[in-house]
Structure 1
Amino acid sequence: MVAGGALQHATRSVAESIGAHYVYASFCANTLPSPHHAPPAMLGRVPVNGTPEENLAQWDQQRHYFTSSRDTLNAERAKLGLDPVEDVRDHIFGDAPWLAADPVLGPWPGPGELVQTGAWLTDDRRPLSRELEAFLDDGTPPVYFGLGSMRGAPDAAREAVEAARRIGKRVVLQRGWAGLELADDALDCIAIGEVNQQALFRRTAAIVHRGGAGTTTTAAAAGRPQIVLPHMYDQHYWGSQVERLGIGRSAKAVTAEVLDEALHLSEQAEEVAAKVRTDGARVAAERLMTLGVNRPN
């Protein structure tokens, strides 16, 4: 059984109850406890990297997010005839977690043994809608703006469109969970729903997003500069990685200045795209096949 995400309180217990091997996979290095980096942002607080001792202290401060569920978890484990768990966080992560992130975009800071498979990508062959295809064919590459599952500021879409227009760029606005809409019906912008990001991103000038692991990786693989607008959890980390590699900017809002800066990073973005691995899912699958009937960690 493979678990992803820090809220996998039950998965390992189920694996133990049926004698299955358990693997915890993280999609971002800084969600795994380590003295080499601070933990991810929680409840509006963005930890800052410090010394190994300071980083571990910050991880310990976040341990209560897991501890609060211990009584409920142990009550359910008792029903399965399993021993109680004292440290819920370490129970979830296991003894040998995997890192399902691209080693160039999101490397493990090390040292320390850890399996890094590369990002788990699939080849998305869904066609773009006729309306979107026509828009893309009818002008220069646009700027993509989407916040995915984030709600965002009420004026986020308007600010992004205004910033793009100031430097003569068109916009593809993805509505997302926030239900973003265009303020007018001008022909230089289009609003869309669910889309094949792999196909769309390759046809843009720049990509503005909230910094999720999948979107950041897809944007990097597309070879387009990106602007990350982090809201929570691992998104601040991905923004810093984009800055580190020189393939985009991390910002609180989209302005014409920030967008113009990002557009000048196209060459670096293309260079990094050539290094992004596309075999992470296959590597993980092959490794899982070798686990056989081994007992859980």
Structure 2
Amino acid sequence: MHKNNITIVVLLGFQGLHNFKIVLFLMLLIIYGLMLLVNVTIISLVSLSKNLHSPMYFFITQVSICDILLSTYIVPNMFFIILNDGGTISLQNCIAQFLMFADAEATECILLAVMSYDRYLAICRPFHYSTIMSPTFCLKLIIFTWLLSFVMTISEAIATSNLTFCGNNVIDHFFCDFAPLLGLACSNAIIVHSQTFLFCIVVLICPFLTIAVSYIYIVYTIVRIPSITRRKKAFSTCSSHLTVVCLFYGALISVYVAPTEGHSITTNKVLALLYTVMTPLLNPVIYSLRNQDFKEAFRKWRNQFNQNN
């Protein structure tokens, strides 16, 4: 049995904010509140509107659930850290926070790949779409997505828990991200790094390749459509998803893949805020902003609400 000298982890958060911390707190509180409102609205509209009962919108609700979980695992504790110029968390809770955060991220990665396959079928194989994308198959895809991401992240968390943590217990961040957490370990982390490599292949690289291949076929199919109107309509059905993919993977690459030697700690924290706070807010906005089905469903819901009151 290994023995940890560290039982409490100190999260520094955003040092040196002084009077600006109230402004930052209120700004992030507003963004977090809007994120909850918009994502819950998306989930409610899809659940209550019959014209939104299709695989694409069902998958969008799952992305909204992921976004809510992703922010909620991080942001409430971040509020406390901002107001108190830092905070503490037990080592076990620190690892648990990383587990839940990674699980939400992994699930969203796989969901985006599932949605790209859905768009591929809708555009490239429209006559087989209804047969393949049956409600039962969609449900199985979602269950598989959540289970796969959970199994991968729980194995990662178990391997991390088996490390010995000693010495410095300070993390200069506002949550327990992977690299800062691993920086507290003083034992050999080769098993964790090996599992992380496998984790990235399964929940990051494979979904990304699925998305890339799907859109190669989608673009090839769209450019062969003779009618310009039909071509624009086909592209509009997947443009929102493609925008979300670029935003999501762009944030991940900027934080975890791109070289960080030239980045200051503050820059890394700002980038982390992008995918923990801003992206979960922007995703549902992007999906609903140019979507006529969402606008029509919201209009009907608003009219019904006004009539009842």
TM-score by length of 1: 0.22
Q: Which structure has the higher relative contact order (CA within 8 Å, separation 6+)?
A: 2
User: Which structure features the higher share of strand residues?
Assistant: 1
User: Which structure features the higher share of helix residues?
Assistant: 2
